[in-house]
Structure 1
């Protein structure tokens, strides 16, 4: 499972990003850890189930309210399997939810200088109740299952299916119990139960028009856990004395090789997805010995890495329009016009009023028809011509 996860591009790449989904991810992973233990241990099942519910409830209230769609099937499964009673579910969920709610309101209200602010409620009303999320694009209902999951899981998807397939002439063995034994205290366990909350979660989210793969990132570890069982099942085929079975036993190794190759290629291309950051860095190198002025950054530049963190020479007391002598650079991101005082600009467009000093290359796209990767000049560092 570990090898599978680190050879998948999206999950490791985005796990370090400062997105609310990524803040919620560690809590959800801990919840899934204890959720699995509640199914595989003979003892302390209720305790592990309670801890699992605590973690995911806190993550939903504080970071991502859509996790309620995962809590509902998870709670049903815990109740159906007699891990938690209705009373305990209500008690644990209520106490955890209220504690997390008090915490997020206290912290967020302070930092946003607002009275009784619950960000996730605002997000729910805006995106779901008012359906404003559709303004960012609408995808078909099947997008998560047919597009995002295959992209995120890569070869992990067919490997997870291998864990679920019944015993047959094609796959004549079953999952070896040693792969799910924990300290020799294993209980009866059905791998398909791993996916019950995840499949239902994805199904519920499919009713929303706007879809992004980051909304289902929490399901990837569970699919990978199942894929790990599938890899173990296939690996066991090596013990059988037929060429077909021995070839099938090599599938996990081939799957990891495919993942690694694809991730290596996509990582290299992704490094070219931030020309704005590269252009801003190159700009600072060019003007290091020049007196401060104003530089204009167009929309593409700002969207592809030219953030406030990259503004090395910024004078925090010097804003456009103030009548004062600036001791640092002013960075303009006005979308309507370029300020007249701007002597430099980083933009995708060029015109006769500006001289191109340097250009930055980036990833433009892939042509599947010609199997061609298009990399070319995307942004230009330009200086205003003097009259």
Structure 2
């Protein structure tokens, strides 16, 4: 989002200015801002820098001699800031590292990003952009109107053509994500606003303009409602972070103190609550890490002091305790090596596991599922008689018992489940809303003698 702010400001300087001298200066600021955003934050913005520069040169908005100085100055300044600072925080060999160059080489040159999935070349235009812009009138009516009208054509092209060219070139990259092209939303929205303004100012002239203006006006609250719904749905896509939050409550709860939270209440009925004190070692799988188990969530405070010459093990992160966690220290392992994960001895070291598939935990048991976190899996329409879901419990196959156990549902999944029960009770069993499915299972190693439900090895 730091890059998003810089690119939005850069696009604002592309808008026409009545003073030609100031216009050249504004274009140079655009070059400087895009260069900084590329070198420090997002390497793919080099494509946007090129498309903006080519458009400026081809449209005689700025000569090449005025482009090179701001580029060189901003590039040198950005490297002086990024390389020392990022090299210190990355703590990797070689000691000097430029993260954006490393990321570009790994993802684009080596093609490693394709391991995360590929999409057809047209995906940005046919799927991502319509969702980002939300309002269908932007691409179907307003942008064409802005491009075809004499009074708005020059302003619209200045911001829209470089943005669309960026998307077109970036479409050559097989791996695609909507977040890679968020930067084009402000310029395309600005160009669409020019088209909307043109139609609105002529609403009194003909019936067509009047009806079109009405449709445009109604599309604004409709787009707001759609955006709000998408925002609510997106908040359900971070089961890893919610599992991490639930884990802290589970690992630090005791049966001897009153239960004050949902997590503590769920553990207060269990004889398998862990003892306080010492280190809780946790393994988190890929899905959990991709959906919220990050250093921002792991560290509630400053990282613990490490004596000189005692580095952290690769893939491990020690987390300093907080007042609420008493003497418990969390150590996280994020190993992805398939060979290591298939080794039963690998799992012997862990107290808890956050995993998408409990069957993937092939050793170190027995394990019990102490809770699950659900995630968004689309929209569902449910009709018929209401059935009791257990007010926050979910039925899933147990481990060695062979039956069905009820596991606590943590996070927003539990809220959705309770809301669904309430709505279905009022509507005779009908429900239209998010469909939630188990995403992350919280597993705890059972100690010797505990006759609890377990996950089969």
TM-score w.r.t. the length of structure 1 is: 0.75
In structure 2, do the counterparts of structure 1 residues 291 and 313 end up closer, same or farther at CA, with 3 Å as the change threshold? Answer: farther
Q: Take 1:147 and 1:291, find their aligned partners in 2: how far apart are those partners?
A: 50
Indicate the residue corresponding to 1:353 in structure 2: 366
In structure 2, do the counterparts of structure 1 residues 376 and 205 end up closer, same or farther at CA, with 3 Å as the change threshold? Answer: closer
Tell whether 2:292 aligns with 1:305.
yes
Structure 1, unaligned runs of 5 or more: 1-21, 168-173, 178-187, 321-325
Structure 2, unaligned runs of 5 or more: 255-274, 307-311, 317-325, 360-364, 384-431, 450-457
CA drift of 1:197 comes to 0.9
Tell whether 2:33 aligns with 1:33.
no
Aligned partner of 1:121 among 101, 115, 122:
101
In structure 2, do the counterparts of structure 1 residues 154 and 384 end up closer, same or farther at CA, with 3 Å as the change threshold? Answer: same
Indicate the residue corresponding to 1:328 in structure 2: 328
Q: Take 1:313 and 1:191, find their aligned partners in 2: how far apart are those partners?
A: 46
Aligned partner of 1:250 among 214, 217, 221:
214
In structure 2, do the counterparts of structure 1 residues 88 and 374 end up closer, same or farther at CA, with 3 Å as the change threshold? Answer: same
Indicate the residue corresponding to 1:11 in structure 2: none
Indicate the residue corresponding to 1:264 in structure 2: 228
Q: Take 1:116 and 1:359, find their aligned partners in 2: how far apart are those partners?
A: 42
In structure 2, do the counterparts of structure 1 residues 339 and 328 end up closer, same or farther at CA, with 3 Å as the change threshold? Answer: farther
Q: Secondary structure at the match of 2:245?
A: helix
After TM superposition, list the pairs within 5 Å mapping 1:165-176 onto structure 2: 166=148
Structure number with the bigger relative contact order (C-alpha 8 A, sep ≥ 6) is 1
Moved more, 245-254 or 291-300: 291-300
Tell whether 2:164 aligns with 1:199.
yes
Indicate the residue corresponding to 1:296 in structure 2: 282
Tell me if structure 2 keeps the 8 A contact 1:296–1:339.
no
Q: Take 1:81 and 1:112, find their aligned partners in 2: how far apart are those partners?
A: 42
Indicate the residue corresponding to 1:214 in structure 2: 179
Q: Take 1:160 and 1:148, find their aligned partners in 2: how far apart are those partners?
A: 18
In structure 2, do the counterparts of structure 1 residues 71 and 165 end up closer, same or farther at CA, with 3 Å as the change threshold? Answer: closer
Tell me if structure 1 keeps the 8 A contact 2:14–2:158.
no
Q: Secondary structure at the match of 2:172?
A: coil
Tell me if structure 1 keeps the 8 A contact 2:236–2:376.
yes
In structure 2, do the counterparts of structure 1 residues 160 and 69 end up closer, same or farther at CA, with 3 Å as the change threshold? Answer: farther
Q: Secondary structure at the match of 1:98?
A: helix
Indicate the residue corresponding to 2:416 in structure 1: none
In structure 2, do the counterparts of structure 1 residues 281 and 89 end up closer, same or farther at CA, with 3 Å as the change threshold? Answer: closer
In structure 2, do the counterparts of structure 1 residues 191 and 297 end up closer, same or farther at CA, with 3 Å as the change threshold? Answer: same
Tell me if structure 2 keeps the 8 A contact 1:159–1:228.
no
Tell me if structure 2 keeps the 8 A contact 1:363–1:375.
yes
Q: Take 2:203 and 2:283, find their aligned partners in 1: how far apart are those partners?
A: 59
Q: Take 2:115 and 2:126, find their aligned partners in 1: how far apart are those partners?
A: 22
Tell me if structure 2 keeps the 8 A contact 1:284–1:312.
no
